[in-house]
Amino acid sequence: MDNILDTAKTWLTDFFDPAIKKEIEHLIANDKEELNDRFYKNMEFGTGGIRGVMGVGTNRINKYTLGKSTQGLSNYLNKVYKGEEIKVVIAFDCRNNSDTLARTVAEVFSANGIKVFLFSELRTTPELSFAVRHLNCHAGIVLTASHNPPEYNGYKVYWTDGGQIVPPQDGEIISEINSLGFEDIKFTPNDSLIEVIDKEVDKAFISQSVAAGNFNAAGKENFKIVFTSLHGTSITAIPEVLKRGGYENVTIIEEQAKPDGNFPTVKSPNPEESEALSMAVKKAEEIGADMVVGTDPDSDRLGIAVRNLDGEMEIVNGNQAMVLMTKFLLEKRKEKGFKGNEFIATTIVSTPMMEAMAKAYGVEFKTSLTGFKWIGKMIKDFPESDFIGGGEESFGYMVGDFVRDKDAVTSTLLACEIASQAKANGSSFYKDLIQCYVDYGFYKEHLVSITKKGISGAEEIKQMLKDFKENPVESVAGSKVKWIEDYNTSTAKNVLTGEEKTIDIPKSNVLIYETEDGTRIAARPSGTEPKVKFYISTNTKLERTEDYKKVAAELDNKVKSILAELNLA
């Protein structure tokens, strides 16, 4: 408590704005609990950079915490690229204060002699990733908190390859940041080094997106799409990409088309949540649309709803969308002829069906920790290999490598191509997915996400994961646990035979149980939110498409029994 108070009092110097000092004085006098939460720790880099609630304090997003991060990054850039003209590009999304925080970040870079390209208005995260290489920049920043609630904002750092920073580089940057005091921040800008950019990058990005996502599918004139940007940035790109891709019959949900950091029409601007797409799904039912697409605020995740076997709109999950997109890309590549260096990728908590499909097509399968930065790193680490596509269960997908992060812009066009072609062939997106289950195995996934806020919440999450590890599960739904994968120790142990393997993936706080029948239970804390997540994957054979409903019900019941066994129901 004394340490927290001492830390808070360091913000009462004349370096900080008067309004900030006044707020801290009020907290010291009247609200110790809130003071503790704001100052008990510093903002930390997670799987997606820095992300947190906006406000005053070391544990909040504000001009000082982002300024300090930018100062540390500036120092690092000036060391690594000493003597070069260093360039960075900055984008921001629709969130409250994103534009002003982006300007602050630009000013700090410029004060350190770094050339800045600053987008004039909000832009998507995939366009920022693209812009890094397009403008030959050393780094990129996007101000965003992805799909988090309105009170959040954040800051993601990209490197020369257009991918997010990864170890050991992120650790070196963090060390640089941690060596600084707030008074070390250079806030006085060199305006001659800040160049505002606009449509020139848009043109190149949209052209590349259409080239990567358009496969000249049949039936576009009869394919009806409902699109919602959920008050986010994708309104700046997706309508134009769909138009250039040949889709004229697109209905935009106007109530959600205007960018707004308060996200007034949804509980959460997260396409993983069915409620977020409810307005679009309702419109699709009204007008008889074939597909709904909705994207999160920075347009790196997409949610899809299509007509199921009963003709009703049903939201497909991230694993399902990923499987069908990858299958489509593999089939297109197969038509051209494989060269033998192709690979697809996903994460350790995503569906194992991706690996089964890679084996069927004879291409390499790579898996990574959660977070798209690891998939981007694969492309950088294996330049001789050809990345076809890949994604993760949390509704992110990347088509090819012209963007090095999950990309809802290109993926939206790809999803429409798949569905339009399927309809023209007398099938559907949903029916094609069921055929994948027949071909590669019927995999069914379920996510349980538990939120625990504040200091006590962080301790609860830590204890939950400790209990999960120290009290190992012996069987799941009647099937014995065979493998325990501990990513903290980089070991996988066969508990039935005693065999041990080394996991060749960076260490992370993830534990996975796999049973004899292939059921997988994974547990991990979120890197960007106060959550602990449990991922469940079950599978069985699907002999015929006609058996889909019956077998799906059996897997649903199995998932329910697993949730009850693990006290997660």
Q: Which residues belong to the active site?
A: 146
Q: Which of 522, 534, 533 is nearest to 484 (CA)?
A: 522
- Residue 566: how many other CB atoms lie within 10 Å: 17
Q: Omega of the bond prior to 168 within 30 degrees of 0, cis?
A: yes
Q: What share of the chain is helix, strand, coil (3-state, %, to 5)?
A: 40, 25, 35
123 membership: H or E segment, kind and range: none
DSSP letter assigned to residue 417: H
306 three-state secondary structure:
strand
The most distant pair of C-alpha atoms in the chain lies apart, rounded to whole Å, by 72
CA proximity to 288, closest of 251, 246, 238: 251
CA torsion through residues 536, 280, 407, 436, sign: positive
Q: Give Cα separations from 234 to 127, 147, 298, 360 (angstroms).
A: 10, 13, 7, 35
Token code pair at residue 414: 């790809």
CA distance 59 to 349: 29
Cβ(308)–Cβ(429) under 8 Å?
no
- The dihedral built from the CA positions of residue 68, 70, 73 and 77, taken in this order, carries a sign that is negative
For residues 393 and 318, the answer to whether their CB atoms sit within 8 Å is yes
Q: How far is CA 441 from CA 304, 359, 433, in A?
A: 22, 12, 11
> Contact at 8 Å (CB) between 165 and 158?
yes
Q: Is 234 helix (H, G, I), strand (E, B) or coil?
A: helix
Question: Both tokens of residue 446?
Answer: 């379920």
What's the CA gap between 409 and 375, in Å, rounded?
18
Sequence-distant (6+) residues with CB within 8 A of 517 are: 479, 539
CB-based burial label for 10 (10 Å; 0-12, 13-18, 19+):
middle
Q: Are 487 and 527 in contact (CB under 8 A)?
A: no
| Residue among 394, 287, 383 nearest 350 (CA) | 394
